């Protein structure tokens, strides 16, 4: 199968999963009762919803701090804005998490962002390395968060049917993270050893570019993983960010009138995040998030309409933040590209002349 066929098949799969997720969300709302879900959502009020949006922005700030801890040479606001663009693309656009990563790499490369003072262009290998390492440290923090959630879930309901699957999922997540780290540290060597077999059939220029790009990426990876203290600090900040997401769930449940302790909120949020990680191919985790919230909410005595309301409010605050972020990023990208085109036109119209330089010096 050629690359075009694979891309087409992946696009069809994404569309199918998006449609399936929308059907699942609609079915869940119909089963819970549209009026009941609407009533549960409206309990929070405009003021409460704005509080949740501000809390999400605070958590985003912690996530930017986590990324900056691993890559202090990159500006904090560059990384924060790139992180917000990456999350917004993954939650608001019909892409899987992989699509959000690609857009996040582009946002990291760009010098046209929400940040000031850091206008240097970041090369593609450095941006790819920064995003991959940040995702890895986020998963490291998530593993600790999921294990804590499982402990609270067992403490609340030892016979819960979620315990065994989530523990198995956590083990799978740990193994996958370890393999991902190993690949980042040794992937370049493997590519140099075996990649030539697959790239020799390409044009010589493409072959050289791929080989050089792999070498540059491997150098960036080795430099990043040679700072274990930075990696540990980043994972710790990500763990704090996961706790912040649990705190938002606890606060939202309070606004909706549900009685949920903070340890139980950690259990619900942690297990939900683990389930969503397994369904990473589903764009925006449509249907997966709602099903997890409703099932776990039932285990903690929360009405299905309230559980569905928690999920919809989470999506609401992500959209309220994500759409303006994507629009602002697109505007700045277009503005930056127009500026570059104008500079190129000026250089073409007024080429440097040795006589002009000489006259300037004489003057």
Q: What is the mean pLDDT of each run of 10 residues along the chain (363 residues)?
A: 55 65 68 70 87 95 95 91 91 74 87 59 87 93 91 79 75 82 70 44 44 74 90 96 95 90 92 79 76 84 87 90 92 72 54 46 43
How many residues appear in the chain?
363
Q: What is the pLDDT, as a whole number, of residue 46?
A: 87
Q: What is the pLDDT, as a whole number, of residue 112?
A: 57
CB contact at 8 A, 149 and 257 = no
Q: What is the pLDDT, as a whole number, of residue 92?
A: 83
The alpha carbon of residue 136 and the mean position of all alpha carbons in its chain are separated, in whole angstroms, by 11
Quick one: tokens of 141? 């923090």
Q: What is the pLDDT, as a whole number, of residue 30?
A: 67
Q: What is the pLDDT, as a whole number, of residue 361?
A: 45
Q: What is the pLDDT, as a whole number, of residue 290?
A: 83
CA-closest candidate to residue 286, choices 17, 16, 15, 12: 17
Q: What is the pLDDT, as a whole number, of residue 220?
A: 87
Terminus-to-terminus CA distance in the chain, angstroms? 67
CB contact at 8 A, 186 and 314 = no
What gap in Å lies between CA 248 and CA 45, rounded to an integer?
Answer: 15
CB contact at 8 A, 89 and 326 = yes
Q: What is the pLDDT, as a whole number, of residue 286?
A: 74
CA-closest candidate to residue 295, choices 310, 317, 284, 282: 310
Burial class of residue 111 in the structure, from the number of CB atoms within 10 Å of its CB (0-12 exposed, 13-18 middle, 19+ buried): middle
- Please list the alpha-helical segments (H only) found in 256-303: 262-278, 288-299
Burial class of residue 351 in the structure, from the number of CB atoms within 10 Å of its CB (0-12 exposed, 13-18 middle, 19+ buried): exposed
Q: What is the pLDDT, as a whole number, of residue 323?
A: 92
């Amino acid at each position: 199968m050629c690359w075009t066929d694979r891309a087409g098949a992946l696009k069809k799969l994404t569309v199918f999963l998006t449609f399936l997720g929308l059907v699942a969300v609609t079915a869940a709302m119909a089963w819970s009762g549209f009026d009941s879900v609407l009533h549960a959502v409206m309990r929070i009020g405009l003021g409460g919803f704005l509080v949740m949006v501000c809390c999400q922005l605070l958590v985003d700030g912690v996530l930017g701090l986590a990324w900056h801890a691993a890559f202090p040479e990159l500006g904090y606001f560059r990384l924060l804005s790139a992180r917000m663009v990456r999350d917004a693309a993954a939650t608001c656009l019909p892409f899987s998490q992989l699509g959000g990563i690609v857009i996040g790499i582009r946002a990291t490369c760009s010098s046209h962002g929400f940040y000031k003072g850091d206008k240097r262009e970041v090369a593609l290998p450095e941006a790819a390395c920064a995003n991959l390492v940040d995702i890895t440290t986020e998963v490291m923090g998530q593993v600790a968060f999921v294990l804590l959630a499982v402990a609270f879930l067992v403490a609340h309901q030892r016979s819960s049917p979620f315990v065994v699957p989530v523990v198995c999922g956590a083990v799978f997540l740990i193994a996958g993270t370890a393999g991902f780290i190993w690949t980042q540290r040794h992937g370049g060597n493997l590519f140099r050893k075996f990649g030539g077999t697959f790239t020799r059939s390409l044009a010589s220029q493409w072959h050289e570019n791929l080989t050089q790009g792999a070498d540059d990426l491997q150098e960036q990876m080795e430099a990043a993983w040679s700072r274990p203290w930075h990696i540990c600090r980043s994972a710790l900040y990500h763990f704090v960010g996961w706790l912040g997401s649990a705190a938002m769930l606890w606060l939202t449940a309070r606004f909706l009138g549900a009685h949920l302790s903070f340890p139980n909120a950690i259990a619900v949020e942690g297990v939900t995040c683990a389930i969503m990680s397994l369904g990473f191919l589903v764009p925006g985790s449509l249907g997966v998030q709602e099903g997890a919230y409703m099932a776990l909410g039932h285990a903690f005595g929360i009405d299905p309409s309230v559980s569905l309301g928690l999920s919809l409010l989470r999506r609401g605050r992500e959209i309220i933040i994500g759409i303006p972020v994507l629009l602002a990023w697109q505007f700045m990208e277009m503005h930056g590209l127009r500026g570059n085109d104008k500079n190129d036109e000026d250089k073409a119209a007024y080429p440097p002349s040795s006589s002009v330089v000489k006259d300037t010096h004489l003057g």
